[in-house]
Amino acid sequence: MTRTINWLSSSVSQRNHQSGSMVAASATNCLLLLLLFLFSFFLLTCTPASSGADIVFPLSTSSRWVVDGAGRRVKLACANWAAHLEPAVAEGLSKQPLDAISRSVAAMGFNCVRLTWPLFLLTDPSLASLTVRRSLDGLGLFESTAGVRVNNPALLDLTLLQAFQAVVSNLASNKLMVILDNQISKPGWCCSRYDGNGFFGDKYFDPDEWLEGLEMMATIFNGSSSVVGMSLRNELRGPKQNISLWYRYMQRGAEIVHSANPNILVILSGLDYDKDLSFLSRNQVDLSFKGKLVFEYHWYGFSDGGNWTADNPNQVCAMVIGNITRKVGFLLEQGWPLFLSEFGVDQSGANEVDNRFLNCFLSYAAEKDIDWAIWALQGSYYVREGQLGFDETYGLLSWDWCKPRNSSFVQRLAAIQYPFLGPGLSKNSPYNVIFHPMTGLCIVMNSRLKQIQLGQCSESDAWSYTKKLKLMLKGTQFCLQAEGVGKPVKLGTSCKDSRSRWEPISDSKLHISSNLTDHGGVMCLDIGDKGVIVTDLCKCLSLDGTCNPDSQWFSIVRSNREVNGLILRKFLPQFIATCCMLKWSIIEIPSGPCSLLPPILCSSSRFEPEVDCIRETMCALSIDQEQAKLAREPLEQKQKEENKIQTQILPAKKLYIAEDDPIRCYDR
């Protein structure tokens, strides 16, 4: 910013020296206004919608949304961090410093952690009195003790509860929200149908002890704004589970937690390993408080009943999403917040079930814009099911906790880490983005390369998917058009023929097709070389289970968050008109990490921007003539007043915004 201010100062001085005219001053004013606008735009589009620094605590609920104290949507994009296994210590403290772990969570784009805890940590004095050192040594984990001594010496002789509090405090210092999850009663790996921890009345699951522990935990963190929610119990299961006891104890638990800490969200899980809340469609919970209730569910590739490797992926995806909708998803339609508190995949890439599941999941997560928490953060465990140093292939971090296990997987999650919809995101009317689950990217326009391709969803253009099945660039007369087999799609203005009509087909409704009667028949959107969007023959529409449709799966997602093209189309016309009057030419602004401004050609002989070169330049800006007129009127009046003064015609300039140096201006 300092560099830019210095540049502006020298530019103003030089230009006034060269011209000595009011036109030069006007040109400088035009440039300054434009630069100020662009900087405001950069700040707006580069700030995450639900970053910890911006949130007004405490959180509450509004219809299906989690919102902050200002009424703005806060999307929970969390990582599960286990602290419920035998040592009852947050995993990984022997591998890396606590602050390094917290910073890695934030660096991967997450805004919260679902931190698990065992009930006995609070209700069993013999466990609660242990220090971290004694807990690890007592399990024979001497190597882990040595690792904690090196990486987190300040934690080694704290009690287990004090160490747990230190983890929460450090997460808060890194602007990360925390959801406390009672994962299990007796510390250990979760979960088995017959492990004694599954349902009220099991060997280790005394309802009164559980209620006591919930009250204690809620009280301990009353006053901690970073602790935004409590999940009352993880994965209720086993032969004793029944609906009547669920209502009895979950409602009591909710009331107790809310009474002890009225600021936090109260999160209720369902039955059958947290896969089933269908009974709520007949009888909703009855609580004394409002605006704090959230429901949670779990979803894995191995738990949804689909045969991903043998059956057609389109059919399996449609089936499992139908199951999700019937068992839990209906709550969104009824206006209840729904938190997917666990999902995950084997990040080695070798598990075909998980690979296919993930693409289906990401399409659902984007379309429904759900809050979620991935299993898991930890790359390894002190001990799991008797195995020391167990490698967690579902973990975001590597075995040594030094780096992401699979950086491309983390990048795929980026699109769903930020909200698409919700109150307070912007004043925009809803529009669409076109999401590609296999890559986690969206369709964008690359103005430098003059093509439509995949790019970061934060840089997506705003589309309008019409009732006539047209994909229109919002605010313009341009539509997406198919050109033929293997050919890149284009923007055009003749939008009445079949090649401009895009219909979701297949059981999954993830194939976006167009009928090119004279160019090969029905085509589907696909990915060509270097991420260019093409159309090709549709894949996997038959019952073939060996077929892989991933490259052709797209989701048309509703959104109302700010996007670059939409902001620019809304506010830029007056700047364009000003610069055109002064014979300035905005020639090229290529896409960068936070912006995608298409090229705009300003005529030196008339005020309004020309649009006759749009097909060649992939220009996304179409300025309505009335808008242009409104923008011109005050400028024309000012020009008339200044006509009395001898003016000097400025040489045309081009404004170039690059990734490495935000603002430069050159003579053309």
Model confidence at 538, pLDDT cuts 50, 70, 90, reads very high
Task: Establish if 422 belongs to a structural domain.
Answer: no
Compute the distance between CA of residue 444 and CA of residue 479 in angstroms, rounded to an integer: 13
131 DSSP assignment: B
Task: Establish if 220 belongs to a structural domain.
Answer: yes
pLDDT at 475: 85
Model confidence at 520, pLDDT cuts 50, 70, 90, reads low
Give the other-Cβ count within 10 Å of 10's Cβ. Answer: 10
* Range from 397-401, 580-584, 641-645 carrying the lowest mean pLDDT: 580-584
Model confidence at 27, pLDDT cuts 50, 70, 90, reads very low
Average pLDDT, the chain: 83
Do residue 161 and residue 286 come from a single domain? yes
Do residue 215 and residue 294 come from a single domain? yes
Compute the distance between CA of residue 422 and CA of residue 559 in angstroms, rounded to an integer: 8
Do residue 277 and residue 151 come from a single domain? yes
pLDDT at 51: 53
| Strand blocks (E) in 30-101 | 60-62, 65-67, 77-81
**Residue of higher predicted confidence among 634 and 369:** 369
The CATH number that applies at residue 169 is: 3.20.20.80
Compute the distance between CA of residue 237 and CA of residue 201 in angstroms, rounded to an integer: 12
Q: How many helices (H) and strands (E) does the chain have?
A: 18, 26
**Residue of higher predicted confidence among 625 and 454:** 454
Structure tokens that stand for 136 in this block:
């690890």
pLDDT at 516: 86
Residues 67-100 pLDDT 10s = 999 999 999 999 999 999 999 999 999 999 999 9
Percent above pLDDT 70 for the chain: 75
Residue whose tokens read 């390369």: 449
pLDDT at 244: 98
* Domain final residue, candidates 559, 581, 615: 559
Residues 466-494 pLDDT 10s = 999 999 998 888 999 999 999 999 999 99
Compute the distance between CA of residue 241 and CA of residue 199 in angstroms, rounded to an integer: 6
Do residue 284 and residue 372 come from a single domain? yes
Predicted TM-score (pTM) of this structure: 0.81
Q: Assess contact for 374 and 404: CB atoms under 8 A.
A: no
pLDDT higher than 50, residue 590: no
Model confidence at 41, pLDDT cuts 50, 70, 90, reads very low
pLDDT higher than 50, residue 411: yes
Compute the distance between CA of residue 544 and CA of residue 546 in angstroms, rounded to an integer: 6
**Three-class secondary structure of residue 370 per DSSP:** coil
pLDDT at 636: 53
pLDDT at 663: 29
**Residue of higher predicted confidence among 85 and 428:** 85
Task: Establish if 629 belongs to a structural domain.
Answer: yes
* Range from 40-44, 132-136, 485-489 carrying the lowest mean pLDDT: 40-44
The segment with the largest mean pLDDT, out of 60-69, 576-585, 590-599, is: 60-69
**Three-class secondary structure of residue 580 per DSSP:** helix
Strands 293-298 and 265-268: parallel
* Domain final residue, candidates 367, 391, 417: 417
**Residue of higher predicted confidence among 587 and 502:** 502
Structure tokens that stand for 446 in this block:
């690359």
Structure tokens that stand for 408 in this block:
């491309």
pLDDT at 513: 98
Do residue 342 and residue 442 come from a single domain? no
**Three-class secondary structure of residue 159 per DSSP:** strand
Do residue 343 and residue 477 come from a single domain? no
Model confidence at 344, pLDDT cuts 50, 70, 90, reads very high
Model confidence at 561, pLDDT cuts 50, 70, 90, reads confident
Compute the distance between CA of residue 381 and CA of residue 360 in angstroms, rounded to an integer: 29
What Rg value do the Cα atoms of the chain yield, rounded?
28
244 DSSP assignment: H
3-state secondary structure 57-75: CCCEEECCEEECCCCCECC
- Is the preceding peptide bond at 172 cis, omega within 30 degrees of 0? no
Task: Establish if 425 belongs to a structural domain.
Answer: no
Domain of 476 in residue numbering reads as: 431-559
Q: Tell me the residue length of the chain.
A: 668
Mean pLDDT of 420-434: 93
Do residue 194 and residue 310 come from a single domain? yes
pLDDT at 498: 92
pLDDT at 236: 99
pLDDT at 428: 81
Q: Assess contact for 243 and 276: CB atoms under 8 A.
A: no
Do residue 76 and residue 42 come from a single domain? no
Amino acid at 153: P
pLDDT at 638: 52
Compute the distance between CA of residue 229 and CA of residue 516 in angstroms, rounded to an integer: 52
Task: Establish if 252 belongs to a structural domain.
Answer: yes
pLDDT at 637: 57
Do residue 60 and residue 34 come from a single domain? no
Task: Establish if 6 belongs to a structural domain.
Answer: yes
Task: Establish if 357 belongs to a structural domain.
Answer: yes
* Domain final residue, candidates 386, 417, 448: 417
Q: What is the number of domains present in the chain?
A: 3
Do residue 486 and residue 620 come from a single domain? no
Amino acid at 513: S
Task: Establish if 74 belongs to a structural domain.
Answer: yes
Say what angle helices 160-173 and 98-107 make with each other, to 10 degrees. 40
Mean pLDDT of 359-385: 98
Do residue 663 and residue 634 come from a single domain? yes
Structure tokens that stand for 165 in this block:
């509090």
pLDDT higher than 50, residue 183: yes
543 DSSP assignment: S
Do residue 472 and residue 618 come from a single domain? no
**Three-class secondary structure of residue 446 per DSSP:** strand
The CATH number that applies at residue 469 is: 2.80.10.50
Mean pLDDT of 537-545: 90
Residues 89-132 pLDDT 10s = 999 999 999 999 999 999 999 999 999 999 999 999 999 999 99
Model confidence at 450, pLDDT cuts 50, 70, 90, reads confident
**Residue of higher predicted confidence among 544 and 184:** 184
Compute the distance between CA of residue 66 and CA of residue 78 in angstroms, rounded to an integer: 14
Mean pLDDT of 260-281: 98
